[in-house]
């Protein structure tokens, strides 16, 4: 019994650290984008890829690593991911150009895919269903703690010690998680040991996602982007058709065709992240370039959104153990839509108190969407599919985040092109940010209907694998 308690405790600690890493780094790096651009003399378009390339690498590899963890052992993949993340963080801190930083961020994204393809699956396997909403709420709170500390601590580190210190701090967090995983986490939780790994499906998935998202984000910057977008779409269609034909696919399509809750919960997650992820990036640029605040002050203003997420997520997760997750999540997405709509009227004269109030509205909405939605996904499958369910949800999250950044990049590039971020382009930047928020509000509104369509988890709906 004591051994079981110890395993649960350290699994939760490792999951908390793992889920803290990505959101902290995303928001912290967002605060440093103007400083990186100034040091390396980079355009706004190239700087956006410092954020986007990490997301793209993670999204493209999350499913393959999740499946590999199911077959070979999730702990092995988690250890490899944490080690890769630590090494790449040190390399990012020593980057000598924007291009080298982008390359090291890709490596960091690979490590992240290995982490997030396994950590949540291990947590779900260790904790029984009746405790799952609570621990998922705690890990979601860790995510939002990362989001909370990201702009504040990232802004301070950037302002006081330089943007490189952000990556060195991430190395420290990753090293702690790696040590605990190696020494305290005993077991592999393979779930699908002995099955074959779908190499062709993995290749199609990676190539399709990379070419599609790159093409979308570069439509206004490259004449070849439309061909990349079309090619990516064709490869993803080929991936789906191939997965339907083989016995042991990378992604079991039965999880979508025979499980309404799983399918629409993942769709809701994809839409929500498409509509919300670029908010902190856009507002970081707005506060620093348009409003003229330094990174520390901008970080303190942005804190108001994720701190509400961190405070409310455990409550929302526990609530979804008692109330239908689709109802809690749908209300959350509705509040998020309202907040995004209000940001569509943002301007240089918008008072700070109004920005803070609206960020708090967004934070409340997202808290009530995320952990109940995660609970719905993981509760809709049996333990055989925990790894692939976790990886699928993570892929939806990262794909949504990458599309969100691609949308913001495309809109900003339409207004300011290859110009550097400076007060000279503040008016055009403000217009591009307003248009981006309008697009995101419409997207999120559509997501409310996907959330409502998922069905009732607690009505005894059959699970795939039972």
- Determine the pLDDT at residue 132: 66
User: 3-class SS at 381?
Assistant: strand
**pLDDT tens over the chain, length 466 residues:** 566 677 778 888 888 888 888 778 777 887 788 888 888 888 777 887 888 888 788 878 888 887 887 787 788 888 999 999 999 999 998 989 889 999 999 999 899 888 877 777 777 777 776 676 677 777 777 776 776 677 778 878 888 888 899 899 999 989 998 998 888 877 776 666 667 888 888 899 889 888 888 887 777 667 788 898 899 899 989 998 898 888 878 777 777 777 788 888 888 888 988 898 888 888 888 888 888 888 778 878 887 877 787 778 777 777 767 777 778 888 888 999 999 999 989 888 888 899 999 999 988 898 888 878 877 777 777 766 666 677 677 778 777 877 888 888 888 888 887 777 777 778 888 888 999 999 999 999 988 888 887 666 554 444 544 4
The full length of the chain comes to: 466
pLDDT for 466 equals: 40
Residue-range domain boundaries for the chain? 2-197+250-459, 198-249
Question: What pLDDT is stored for residue 130 in this prediction?
Answer: 67
Residue with tokens 């900003």: 412
- Closest by CA to 80, choosing from 92, 94, 97, 68, is 68
Q: Which residue, chain included where needed, has tokens 């997420």?
A: 309
The structure tokens listed for 266 are 């993942």
The closest alpha carbon to 215, from 231, 202, 235, belongs to 231
- Structure tokens of 184? 């305290």
CATH of region 2-197+250-459? 1.20.1250.20
Residue 464 in 3-state DSSP? strand
CA angle, residues 406, 407, 412, in degrees to nearest 5: 100
Contacts of 99 (CB under 8 A, 6+ apart): none
Q: Which residues pair with 464 in a beta bridge?
A: 381
DSSP codes of every residue in 259-312:
-HHHHHHHHHHHHHHHHHTHHHHHHHHIIIIIS---HHHHHHHHTHHHHHHHHH
CA 70 → CA 66, 370, 387, distances in Å?
A: 6, 24, 6
The answer to whether the CB of 286 falls within 8 A of the CB of 432 is: no
Question: Nearest 10 degrees: CA dihedral of 346, 347, 348, 354?
Answer: -40
- The backbone torsions φ and ψ at residue 291, rounded to the nearest 5 degrees and listed phi first, read -85, -20
């Amino acid at each position: 019994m004591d051994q079981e308690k110890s395993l649960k405790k350290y699994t939760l600690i490792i999951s908390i650290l793992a889920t803290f890493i990505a959101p902290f780094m995303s928001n912290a790096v967002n605060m440093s984008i103007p400083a990186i651009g100034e040091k390396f003399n980079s355009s706004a378009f190239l700087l956006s890829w410092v954020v986007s390339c990490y997301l793209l690498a993670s999204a493209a590899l999350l499913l393959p690593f999740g499946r590999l963890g199911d077959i070979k052992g999730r702990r092995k993949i988690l250890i490899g991911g944490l080690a890769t993340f630590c090494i790449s963080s040190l390399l990012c801190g020593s980057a000598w150009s924007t291009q080298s930083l982008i390359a090291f961020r890709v490596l960091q994204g690979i490590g992240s895919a290995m982490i997030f393809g396994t950590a949540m699956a291990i947590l779900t396997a260790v904790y029984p269903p009746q405790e799952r909403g609570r621990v998922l709420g705690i890990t979601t709170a860790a995510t939002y703690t990362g989001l909370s500390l990201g702009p504040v601590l990232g802004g301070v580190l950037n302002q006081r010690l330089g943007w490189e210190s952000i990556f060195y701090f991430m190395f420290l967090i990753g090293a702690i998680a790696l040590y605990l995983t190696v020494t305290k986490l005993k077991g592999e939780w393979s779930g699908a040991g002995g099955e074959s790994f779908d190499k062709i499906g993995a290749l199609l998935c990676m190539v399709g996602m990379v070419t599609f998202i790159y093409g979308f984000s570069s439509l206004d910057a490259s004449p070849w982007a439309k061909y990349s977008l079309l090619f990516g779409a064709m490869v993803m269609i080929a991936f789906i058709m191939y997965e339907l034909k083989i016995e042991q696919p990378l992604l079991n399509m039965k999880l979508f065709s025979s499980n309404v809750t799983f399918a629409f919960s993942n769709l809701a997650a994809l839409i929500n992240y498409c509509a919300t992820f670029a908010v902190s990036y856009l507002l970081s640029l707005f506060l620093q370039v348009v409003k003229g605040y330094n990174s520390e002050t901008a970080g303190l203003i942005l804190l108001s959104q994720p701190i509400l997420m961190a405070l409310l997520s455990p409550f929302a997760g526990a609530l979804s153990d008692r109330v239908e997750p689709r109802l809690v999540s749908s209300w959350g997405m509705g509040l998020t839509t309202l907040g995004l709509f209000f940001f569509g009227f943002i301007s240089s004269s918008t008072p700070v108190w109004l920005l803070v109030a609206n960020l708090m509205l967004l934070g409340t909405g997202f808290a009530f969407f995320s952990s109940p939605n995660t609970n719905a996904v993981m509760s809709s499958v049996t333990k055989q599919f925990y790894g692939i369910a976790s990886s699928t949800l993570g892929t939806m999250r990262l794909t949504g985040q990458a599309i969100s950044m691609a949308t913001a990049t495309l809109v900003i590039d339409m207004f300011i092109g290859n110009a550097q971020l400076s007060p000279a382009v503040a008016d055009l930047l403000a217009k591009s940010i307003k248009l981006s928020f309008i697009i995101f509000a419409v997207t999120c509104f559509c997501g409310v209907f996907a959330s409502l369509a998922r069905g009732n988890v607690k009505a005894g709906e059959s699970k795939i694998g039972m």
